[in-house]
């Protein structure tokens, strides 16, 4: 796939450097990836939004790709990441913009919908329902909830709390880890088999299902995987996956910092899209969707895409692009 029309910028903000991929002119639409992800995760959405008359910007979030990778998990709290996004708005001279987020980026979009509604025209969080307990919406400290689950079997959110363990386990196995994780979270893979593994002595990479073949897969080519791997490794082995790892470790601090606004209503226009075969969605419950409908006051759509796992913007780009464009165009920017 050609990405020759995309402009790449390095933005200095909040004491770090952010890498931005930009295409098009018009009202600003900003995209924030999750883990594993990069700006490149939005490679199918950038040209679609640009062609429809928008300035589409995909960020390498702090901790990823060509952006700075702070070592401390304190640098990955939602207030700091929100400030990064607002710096992008300011760079383009926009008081308000549309924010699309996937995975940890979806958590961020919900958070900003509560705390920065005046800066948002609308939000489109993908794959993580609003106020989902495992994403920080519990009334129990997240690490305590993760530890309770891990008493019964391996649980990745508990595993990531131990500093240094995950980082060491991936060294020399980076391609294997990315391939396994992309596959396990896709519509064709299997993630929840971790229930067959004990917590003690188990590494996440060894729980993940080995793909039957590839990549290439229909939604992820060998070249795509090479790009992901090279971008994760460009800051060195110790920092390869620090962004995602630290997002898990920051969950307790996020919970403590923002308890006063826990379960707050979201007033900005919102669209939720997930994958019908997404293991992350399956970790939740029907109640998560009921809660989202109750608390998101201008929820303009709630869709689960058939044939999509967790990586909906790559697995089913045409279907997702249609929904995103309908939502953004309906905001009458």
pLDDT band for 4, please (50, 70, 90 cuts).
low
Structure confidence at residue 134 (pLDDT): 82
What DSSP designation does 194 have? Answer: G
Better-scored residue on pLDDT, 237 or 284? 237
> What share of the chain has pLDDT > 90, as a percent?
88
Known active-site residue 103: yes
The one catalytic residue among 103, 252, 278, 288: 103
Q: How far is CA 278 from the centre of its chain?
A: 13
Residue 200 scores a pLDDT above 50: yes
* pLDDT beyond 60 at 2: no
Mean pLDDT of 90-110: 98
- Condensed to tens digits (0 to 9), the pLDDT of residues 110-162 reads 999 999 999 999 999 999 999 988 877 788 999 999 999 999 999 999 999 99
pLDDT (0 to 100) of residue 193: 84
Rounded to whole angstroms, how far apart are CA atoms 223 and 236?
20
What pLDDT shows up at residue 81?
Answer: 98
Q: Are strands 16-23 and 7-13 parallel, antiparallel or unpaired?
A: antiparallel
Q: Using CA atoms, how far apart are residues 122 and 120, in angstroms rounded to an integer?
A: 5
CA distance 61 to 1: 22
74: DSSP letter: G
Give the tokens for residue 163. 């500093």
pLDDT for 138 equals: 82
Tokens of 151: 């008493």
19: pLDDT strictly greater than 60: yes
Q: In 3D, which of 97, 96, 100 has the Cα closest to residue 109?
A: 100
- What mean pLDDT do residues 307-326 have? 98
Domain range list for the chain: 7-330
310 a catalytic residue: yes
> Averaged over 51-65, what is the pLDDT?
98
Query: Which position among 19, 102, 111, 310 bears the catalytic label?
Result: 310
pLDDT at 1 over 50: no
Q: What pLDDT does residue 262 have?
A: 87
So what's the architecture of 7-330 in CATH?
Answer: 3-Layer(aba) Sandwich (3.40)
Helix 78-91 to helix 104-115 angle (10° resolution) is: 80
| pLDDT per position as a tens digit, 210-248 | 998 989 999 999 999 999 999 999 999 989 999 999 999
Q: Which of 68-72, 101-105, 211-215 has the lowest mean pLDDT?
A: 211-215
Q: Say how far apart CA 100 and CA 168 lie, in whole Å.
A: 32
Interatomic CA distance for residues 221 and 249, integer angstroms: 31
Beta strands (DSSP E) in the chain are 7-13, 16-23, 28-32, 55-60, 97-102, 120-126, 270-275, 299-305
Q: What is the dihedral sign for C-alpha 12, 117, 124, 149?
A: positive
Q: Average pLDDT for residues 54-78, to the nearest whole number?
A: 98
**Position of tokens 């020759």?**
4
| pLDDT single digits (tens) 148-184 | 999 999 999 999 999 999 999 999 999 999 999 999 9
Asked if residues 62 and 84 have their Cβ atoms less than 8 Å apart, the reply is yes
Cβ-based neighbour number of residue 212 at 10 Å = 8
């Amino acid at each position: 796939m050609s990405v020759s029309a995309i402009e790449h910028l390095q933005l200095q903000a909040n004491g770090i450097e952010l890498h931005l991929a930009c295409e098009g002119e018009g009202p600003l639409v900003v995209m924030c990836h999750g883990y594993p992800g990069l700006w490149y995760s939005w490679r199918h959405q950038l040209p679609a939004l640009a062609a429809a008359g928008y300035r589409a910007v995909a960020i390498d979030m702090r901790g990823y790709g060509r952006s700075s990778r702070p070592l401390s998990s304190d640098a990955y709290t939602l207030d700091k990441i929100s400030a990064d996004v607002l710096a992008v708005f300011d760079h383009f001279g926009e008081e308000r913009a549309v924010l699309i987020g996937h995975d940890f980026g979806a958590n961020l979009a919900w958070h900003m919908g509560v705390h920065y509604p005046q800066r948002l025209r609308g939000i489109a969080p993908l794959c993580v329902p609003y106020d989902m307990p495992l994403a920080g919406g519990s009334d129990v400290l997240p690490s305590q909830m993760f530890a309770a689950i891990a008493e019964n079997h391996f649980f990745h959110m508990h595993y990531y709390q131990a500093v240094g363990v995950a980082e060491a386990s991936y060294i020399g196995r980076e391609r294997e880890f990315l391939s396994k994780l992309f596959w396990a979270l896709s519509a064709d893979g299997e993630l929840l088999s971790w229930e067959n593994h004990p917590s003690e002595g188990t590494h996440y990479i060894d729980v993940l299902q080995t793909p039957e073949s590839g990549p290439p897969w229909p939604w992820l080519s060998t070249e795509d995987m090479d790009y992901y791997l090279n971008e994760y490794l460009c800051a060195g082995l110790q920092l390869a996956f620090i962004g995602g790892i630290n997002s898990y470790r920051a969950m307790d601090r996020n919970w403590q910092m923002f308890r006063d606004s826990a379960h707050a209503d979201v007033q900005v226009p919102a669209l939720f899209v997930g994958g019908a075969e997404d293991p992350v969605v399956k970790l939740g419950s029907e109640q998560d969707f009921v809660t989202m409908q109750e608390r998101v006051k201008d929820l303009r759509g709630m869709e689960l895409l058939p044939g999509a796992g967790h990586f909906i913007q790559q697995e089913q780009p045409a279907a997702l692009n249609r929904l995103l464009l309908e939502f953004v165009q309906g905001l009458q920017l």
